[in-house]
Amino acid sequence: MHRLRLRSFALMAALVLLLGGGLAPVLAQDAGPAAGGSHPFADLALPEIAVTITETAFEGVPAELAAGRYVLTVTNALATAEGPLGSASSGVNFLRLTEELTSEAFMAFIARVAAPDATPQAAGVAATPAAADEGALAPPPWLYEVALPGGPYALPGETASAVIDLTVGEWVLWGESPGAPRTPVPVTVTGDAPADVPTVNADIQIEMVEYAFVVPTPLSAGSQVIEIANVGQEPHFFTMARVADGTSADDALATVIARYGGPAAAGGLRAEDLTIAFVHGTQSAGVTAWYAADLTPGAYVAFCFIPDPVNGIPHVMLGMTRIVEVA
């Protein structure tokens, strides 16, 4: 890939991830799981963590939890979507702190990144030596050290759910968007997880690895439980965006690059033509989570934007871009 193209996209992807844009500046959002509080995990009789996202806070987050498997339900009570395109969903994820990344250090990082004049440098984010030649910015080292169990995302007025596992330790629940007006909530997880936890039966099983998605294709349309396993060594997420039939992975990647100042995409595919159909919270290495989703027939492109820890290059440019058919 051309050096200038790589430099431009790597820089902008780092800005998006660190300044709180996520995928929102790139893609519009389609309808997600239906509202109403029901979910396909009810028969598991798992304890539920029910979180409501309001304009100013995450409500319903317990201060203490026992280690184990949970249904994490998120209700998006925002009046409007927060994304720059006016149609992005919001969600939550847990993050387990480390000895170096204390709650105070994490909150200080969030404050620096959320400042109106924030830049990656001001947030304490520097280029890795290997990335400096390309102008790529590395994310904070703790991104590759913390535990991230994943979490559901929902559109305004809707509810989404997932099954996640929490282990003993000090955690925070946050929205994976440092610029959002909601303060992360500290959560203490105590004890040992039960040896026997209910098994989640999935309709679809997807694996994420460096740097590819292992996806059965075509996927079946309709209401689904999707099992997503990160079997790699780096954090990953799996986001599906609806595209026109016949779109190639290269077409979609060129469109995303163009959105961030790269060469214009060939073929006339616009960023607005990529409509998110499924998105979830980032999962750290070795983590499996289960999500309720409703898929409609058509062609989709799958992305992961997490940068690699050595060069700071987004995974989407290293092979984690592929077309997925739903029939």
Q: Which residues contact 221 (CB under 8 A, 6 or more apart)?
A: 295, 296, 297, 326, 327
Residue 6 has pLDDT above 70, yes or no: no
User: b/e per residue, 240-273, with b = 16+ CB within 10 A?
Assistant: bbbbeeebbbebbbbbbbbbbebeebeeebebeb
In this prediction, residue 266 carries a pLDDT of 59
In this prediction, residue 141 carries a pLDDT of 86
In this prediction, residue 252 carries a pLDDT of 81
In this prediction, residue 90 carries a pLDDT of 85
Residue 128 has pLDDT above 90, yes or no: no
Residue 22 has pLDDT above 90, yes or no: no
- pLDDT band per the 50, 70, 90 thresholds, residue 7: very low
In this prediction, residue 15 carries a pLDDT of 40
In whole angstroms, how far apart are CA 49 and each of 11, 59, 168, 279, 284?
Answer: 36, 11, 16, 19, 20
Residue 321 has pLDDT above 60, yes or no: yes
Residue 83 has pLDDT above 50, yes or no: no
Apex 268 CA angle, 258 and 208, nearest 5:
55
In this prediction, residue 281 carries a pLDDT of 93
Both structure tokens of 37:
């509080």
Residue 273 has pLDDT above 60, yes or no: yes
What three-state secondary structure class fits 46? coil
What three-state secondary structure class fits 110? helix
**Other CB atoms closer than 10 Å to residue 98's CB: what's the count?**
15
For residues 186, 191, 196, 197, the Cα torsion angle rounded to the nearest 10 degrees is -10
Apex 326 CA angle, 44 and 21, nearest 5:
80
Both structure tokens of 188:
């203490």
The neighbouring-strand residues paired with 291 are 162, 226
In this prediction, residue 113 carries a pLDDT of 74
- pLDDT band per the 50, 70, 90 thresholds, residue 17: very low
Higher local confidence (pLDDT), 64 or 274: 64
Q: What is the CA radius of gyration of the chain?
A: 19
Q: Which H helix or E strand runs over 249? A: helix 249-259
In this prediction, residue 121 carries a pLDDT of 55
Q: What does the pLDDT look like over 27-38, one tens digit per residue? A: 444 434 433 447
In this prediction, residue 149 carries a pLDDT of 98
Q: What does DSSP assign to residue 198?
A: P
Q: Report the interhelical angle of 249-259 vs 3-18 (nearest 10°).
A: 70
